[in-house]
């Protein structure tokens, strides 16, 4: 790549360096041109971007994102959440956030929770919380670009991206175009979920994005009368999955009715994880 004009090496005569919009077939230079990563606007200093992912839905990824954000904020970190689950956003509900972001001349001002966590989500822009979002891929990609590049994030130690489930269009967009420093993957004890987590981990590796931690959610239920742990969904497999895919940090979370009650009440920050997420928090700080 030429430093003077950004023209890829081996490009044909007349090339302007616009590989993403170029229609010339058979141009070998296009295959080697690296896409330009999105950058936050001038009013944002985002030191670290961490994506929270899962290979499938229903494992509590958004709730894990909320807990990680709350734990980081409690430790004194300046935290933001970009809700990239555009068609199924649930982050605002967990924090009881209802106000709408307000734009100004420089961009969009995210809302800020009472804990100081900054947040942007499609659900904060809709007239009602249950208004459906039925958008095709290009529209969603444009929204994600705006959420990262046109939001006035200010000074953040960590920006968490709550990803939609799966490894399709949004996954590729964010991991190719966002400056992601690492991912935390969320699983449940079933063997099937472990296999699907592997798909997300392997895709992240192929895109050269580090996997810094695994959270096994709903690993057990602890009886409030006898204190015994019951494995409702089978024996926890988080440690085995982490070993298989060489993930160093592992945390397990229980099935806890109090957790669900806190989320429904919009008070997820009040939930006490009792140090369960400490390995993940430490891994994020080191990433």
Rounded-to-integer distance, Cα 41 and Cα 103, Å? 13
Residue 138: what pLDDT? 86
pLDDT value at position 24? 58
pLDDT at residue number 62: 94
User: Measured in whole angstroms, how far is the alpha carbon of residue 92 from the centre of its chain?
Assistant: 14
Q: 19: alpha, beta or left, given left = phi > 0 and alpha = psi -120 to 50?
A: alpha
Per residue of the chain (287 residues), give pLDDT as tens.
443 445 656 666 666 555 554 655 556 554 555 568 899 999 999 999 999 998 777 788 999 999 999 999 999 999 999 999 998 888 999 999 999 999 999 999 999 999 999 999 999 988 676 777 777 888 999 999 999 999 999 999 999 999 988 777 888 899 999 999 999 999 888 766 677 778 888 888 888 999 999 999 998 888 888 888 888 888 888 888 888 888 999 999 999 999 889 999 999 999 999 999 999 999 999 98
CA 127 to chain CA centroid, nearest Å: 25
| Nearest-angstrom CA–CA distance, 142 and 225 | 51
Supply the pLDDT for residue 226: 86
| 102 SS3 class | strand
What is the pTM (predicted TM-score) of this model?
0.85
Work out the widest C-alpha separation in the chain, in whole angstroms.
77
CA–CA separation, 236 vs 60, rounded Å? 15
Using a 10 angstrom Cβ sphere, with 0-12 exposed, 13-18 middle and 19 or more buried, the burial of residue 272 is exposed
What are 44's two structure tokens?
Answer: 């944002």
Taking the C-alpha atoms of residue 170 and residue 83, their distance in angstroms, rounded to an integer, is: 12
For residues 153 and 262, what is the distance between their CA atoms, to the nearest angstrom?
A: 26
As beta bridge partners, residue 79 has: 158
What the block records as the tokens of 222 is: 């602890």
Q: What is the DSSP letter of 47?
A: -
Distance (Å, rounded) from C-alpha 78 to C-alpha 157? 5
At 1 the pLDDT is 41
Identify the pLDDT of residue 158.
Answer: 98
């Amino acid at each position: 790549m030429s430093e003077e004009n950004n023209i890829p090496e081996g490009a044909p005569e007349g090339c302007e360096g616009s590989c993403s919009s170029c229609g010339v077939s058979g141009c070998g230079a296009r295959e080697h041109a690296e896409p330009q990563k999105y950058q936050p606007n001038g009013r944002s200093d985002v030191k670290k971007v961490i994506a929270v992912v899962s290979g499938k839905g229903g494992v509590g990824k958004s709730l894990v994102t909320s807990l990680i954000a709350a734990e980081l904020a409690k430790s004194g970190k300046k935290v933001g959440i970009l809700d990239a689950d555009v068609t199924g956003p649930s982050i605002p509900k967990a924090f009881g956030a209802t106000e709408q972001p307000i734009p100004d001349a420089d961009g969009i001002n995210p809302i800020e929770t009472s804990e100081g966590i900054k947040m942007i989500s499609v659900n904060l822009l809709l007239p009602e919380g249950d208004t459906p979002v039925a958008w095709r891929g290009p529209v969603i990609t444009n929204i994600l670009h705006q959420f990262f590049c046109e939001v006035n994030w200010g000074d953040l130690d960590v920006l968490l991206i709550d990803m939609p489930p799966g490894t399709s269009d949004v996954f590729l967009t964010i991991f190719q175009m966002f400056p992601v420093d690492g991912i935390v993957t969320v699983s449940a004890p079933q063997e099937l979920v472990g296999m699907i987590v592997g798909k997300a981990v392997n895709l992240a590796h192929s895109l050269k994005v580090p996997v810094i931690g695994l959270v096994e959610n709903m690993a057990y239920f602890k009886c409030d009368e006898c204190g015994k742990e019951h494995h409702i969904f089978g024996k926890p497999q988080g440690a085995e999955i982490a070993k298989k895919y060489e993930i160093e940090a592992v945390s397990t979370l229980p099935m806890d009715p109090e957790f669900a009650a806190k989320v429904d009440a919009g008070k997820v920050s009040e939930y006490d994880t009792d140090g369960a997420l400490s390995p993940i928090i430490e891994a994020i700080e080191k990433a």
